[in-house]
Chain A
Amino acid sequence: MWYPMTSGGREAALWLAAQPAEAKPAGGAALDQIIIASGGAGLLTAVLLVLGWGHRTGKITLLGRLAALAERGPGRGLPGWAALPATVSLLSLVTALLGMYWDISLHISHGRDEGPLANIAHYPILIGLFGIFTAGVLAMALPKGERPGRAAVRITRDWYAPAGGVLLAGAGFYALLGFPLDDVWHRIFGQDVTLWGPTHLMLIGGAGLSLIAMMILEREGRRAWTGPAADRPAGVVRYVRRGMHAGGLLIGLSVFQAEYDFGVPQFRLVHQPLLIALAAGCALVAARLWVGRGGALFAVAFYMLIRGGVSVIVGPVVIGELWAAVPLYFAEALCVEIAALALARRPLALGAVSGVLIGTAGFGAEYAWTQVAFRLPWTGDILVEGMLMAVAGGVAGGLCGAMLAEGLEGRLPRPAVSRTAFAVSIAAVAAAVANGLVIGVPQNVKATVALTDVTGGAAGRTAHARITFTPAGALDDPAWIAITGWQGQGLHVEPLIEEGDGVYRTSAPMPLHGDWKTLIRVHDGRTLAGVPIYLPADPAIGARELPAPASFTRDVQSEKQILQRELKTGVPGWLWLACSSVVLFCTLALILALGWGTARVSRRLPDEPAAESAAAPEKVTT
Chain B
Amino acid sequence: MTPAVDGVLATHPVVSAIPFFVPTFIVVAVIAVIVWRDRHRDDDEPNGQDGHAGHAGHEEGSEERENLHDPG
Please state if B22 and A41 are interface contacts (CB–CB under 8 Å).
Answer: yes
Q: Which residues of B contact A14 (CB under 8 A)?
A: none
Looking at the assembled complex, report how far the CB atom of B11 sits from the nearest CB atom of chain A, in whole angstroms: 4
Provide the bound-state CA to CA distance between A535 and B6, in Å.
20
Please state if B19 and A37 are interface contacts (CB–CB under 8 Å).
Answer: yes
Q: Which residues of A contact B27 (CB under 8 A)?
A: 45, 48-49, 133, 137
Please state if A157 and B53 are interface contacts (CB–CB under 8 Å).
Answer: yes
| A581-622 near B? 1/0 per residue, CB < 8 Å | 000000000000001100110010000000000000000111
Q: Which residues of B contact A40 (CB under 8 A)?
A: 19
Q: Which of B8, B20, B42 contacts A541, CB < 8 Å?
A: B8
Q: Does A345 contact B (CB under 8 A)?
A: no
Q: A116-B20, A133-B27, A532-B1 are in contact. Are A154 and B61 (CB under 8 A)?
A: yes
Q: A41-B23, A130-B24 are in contact. Are A155 and B35 (CB under 8 A)?
A: yes
Q: Which of these binds chain B: A27-35, A358-366, A494-502? A: A27-35
Q: A153-B64, A157-B53, A190-B4 are in contact. Are A180 and B17 (CB under 8 A)?
A: yes
Q: Does A186 contact B (CB under 8 A)?
A: yes
Q: A157-B42, A546-B1, A621-B53 are in contact. Are A26 and B28 (CB under 8 A)?
A: no
Provide the bound-state CA to CA distance between A546 and B2, in Å.
8
Please list 26 pairs of residues, one from A and one from B, whose beta carbons are closer than 8 Å in the complex, sorted by A's number. Answer: A34-B16, A34-B18, A37-B20, A38-B18, A40-B19, A49-B26, A114-B12, A117-B19, A130-B24, A140-B31, A153-B64, A154-B57, A155-B38, A179-B21, A190-B4, A190-B9, A414-B72, A532-B1, A540-B10, A541-B8, A542-B2, A543-B1, A569-B3, A599-B71, A620-B57, A622-B53
Which residue in chain A gives the minimum CB-CB distance to B30? A49
Q: Which residues of B contact A596 (CB under 8 A)?
A: 68, 71
Among B16, B19, B41, B42, the one with the most A-chain Cβ atoms within 10 Å of its Cβ is: B19
Q: Which residues of B contact A29 (CB under 8 A)?
A: 12, 16
Q: Which residues of B contact A562 (CB under 8 A)?
A: 1
Q: A154-B64, A179-B17, A191-B11 are in contact. Are A419 and B24 (CB under 8 A)?
A: no
Please state if A28 and B30 are interface contacts (CB–CB under 8 Å).
Answer: no
Among A33, A115, A153, the one with the most B-chain Cβ atoms within 10 Å of its Cβ is: A115
Q: How many positions in chain A have a CB within 8 Å of any CB in the partner chain?
A: 75
Which residue in chain A gives the minimum CB-CB distance to B54? A157
Please state if A565 and B12 are interface contacts (CB–CB under 8 Å).
Answer: no
Q: Which of B12, B34, B54, B60 contacts A116, CB < 8 Å?
A: B12
Please state if A158 and B53 are interface contacts (CB–CB under 8 Å).
Answer: yes
Looking at the assembled complex, report how far the CB atom of A244 sits from the nearest CB atom of chain B, in whole angstroms: 26
Q: Which of A45, A114, A180, A603 contacts B23, CB < 8 Å?
A: A45
Provide the bound-state CA to CA distance between A415 and B72, in Å.
5
Looking at the assembled complex, report how far the CB atom of A484 sits from the nearest CB atom of chain B, in whole angstroms: 15
Q: Which of B12, B30, B72 contacts A599, CB < 8 Å?
A: B72
Q: Does A176 contact B (CB under 8 A)?
A: yes
Main secondary structure of the interface of B (DSSP, over half): helix
Q: Does A59 contact B (CB under 8 A)?
A: no
Please state if B10 and A172 are interface contacts (CB–CB under 8 Å).
Answer: no
Looking at the assembled complex, report how far the CB atom of A327 sits from the nearest CB atom of chain B, in whole angstroms: 30
Which residue in chain B gives the minimum CB-CB distance to A603? B72
Q: Does A60 contact B (CB under 8 A)?
A: no
Provide the bound-state CA to CA distance between A44 and B20, in Å.
12
Provide the bound-state CA to CA distance between A599 and B68, in Å.
11
| A93-112 near B? 1/0 per residue, CB < 8 Å | 00000000000000000001
Q: A569-B3, A621-B53 are in contact. Are A600 and B67 (CB under 8 A)?
A: yes
Provide the bound-state CA to CA distance between A187 and B9, in Å.
7
Looking at the assembled complex, report how far the CB atom of A580 sits from the nearest CB atom of chain B, in whole angstroms: 18
Please state if B8 and A116 are interface contacts (CB–CB under 8 Å).
Answer: no
Please state if A28 and B19 are interface contacts (CB–CB under 8 Å).
Answer: no
Q: Which residues of B contact A153 (CB under 8 A)?
A: 64
Provide the bound-state CA to CA distance between A532 and B6, in Å.
22
Provide the bound-state CA to CA distance between A123 and B14, in Å.
17
Q: Which residues of A contact B22 (CB under 8 A)?
A: 38, 41
Please state if B12 and A183 are interface contacts (CB–CB under 8 Å).
Answer: yes
Looking at the assembled complex, report how far the CB atom of A479 sits from the nearest CB atom of chain B, in whole angstroms: 24
Among A112, A115, A414, A542, the one with the most B-chain Cβ atoms within 10 Å of its Cβ is: A542
Provide the bound-state CA to CA distance between A603 and B2, in Å.
59
Looking at the assembled complex, report how far the CB atom of B72 sits from the nearest CB atom of chain A, in whole angstroms: 3
Q: Which residues of B contact A172 (CB under 8 A)?
A: 24
Query: Within B25-65, which residues are at the interface with A (CB < 8 Å)?
Result: 26-28, 30-31, 34-35, 38, 41-42, 50, 52-54, 56-58, 60-61, 64
Provide the bound-state CA to CA distance between A523 and B38, in Å.
58
Which residue in chain B gives the minimum CB-CB distance to A41? B19
Q: Which residues of B contact A543 (CB under 8 A)?
A: 1-2, 4
Please state if A187 and B11 are interface contacts (CB–CB under 8 Å).
Answer: yes
Q: Which residues of B contact A184 (CB under 8 A)?
A: 14
Looking at the assembled complex, report how far the CB atom of B40 sits from the nearest CB atom of chain A, in whole angstroms: 11
Provide the bound-state CA to CA distance between A442 and B26, in Å.
50
Other A-B pairs beyond A28-B12, A154-B60, A569-B3, 7, CB < 8 Å: A33-B16, A34-B18, A159-B38, A179-B17, A182-B17, A541-B5, A542-B5
Please state if A173 and B10 are interface contacts (CB–CB under 8 Å).
Answer: no
Q: Which residues of B contact A621 (CB under 8 A)?
A: 52-53, 56-57
Please state if B24 and A568 are interface contacts (CB–CB under 8 Å).
Answer: no
Query: Within A32-64, which residues are at the interface with B (CB < 8 Å)?
Result: 33-34, 37-38, 40-42, 44-45, 48-49
Provide the bound-state CA to CA distance between A27 and B15, in Å.
12
The 5 closest A-B pairs by CB, nearest first: A542-B5, A157-B57, A415-B72, A156-B38, A115-B12
| A146-166 near B? 1/0 per residue, CB < 8 Å | 000000011111110000000
Q: Does A177 contact B (CB under 8 A)?
A: yes
Q: Which residues of A contact B17 (CB under 8 A)?
A: 115-116, 179-180, 182-183
Provide the bound-state CA to CA distance between A26 and B71, in Å.
48
Looking at the assembled complex, report how far the CB atom of A28 sits from the nearest CB atom of chain B, in whole angstroms: 4
Q: Which residues of A contact B10 (CB under 8 A)?
A: 24, 26, 112, 190-191, 538, 540-541, 566
Which residue in chain A gives the minimum CB-CB distance to B60? A154
Q: Which residues of A contact B15 (CB under 8 A)?
A: 28, 34
Q: Does A570 contact B (CB under 8 A)?
A: yes
Q: Which residues of A contact B71 (CB under 8 A)?
A: 595-596, 599-600
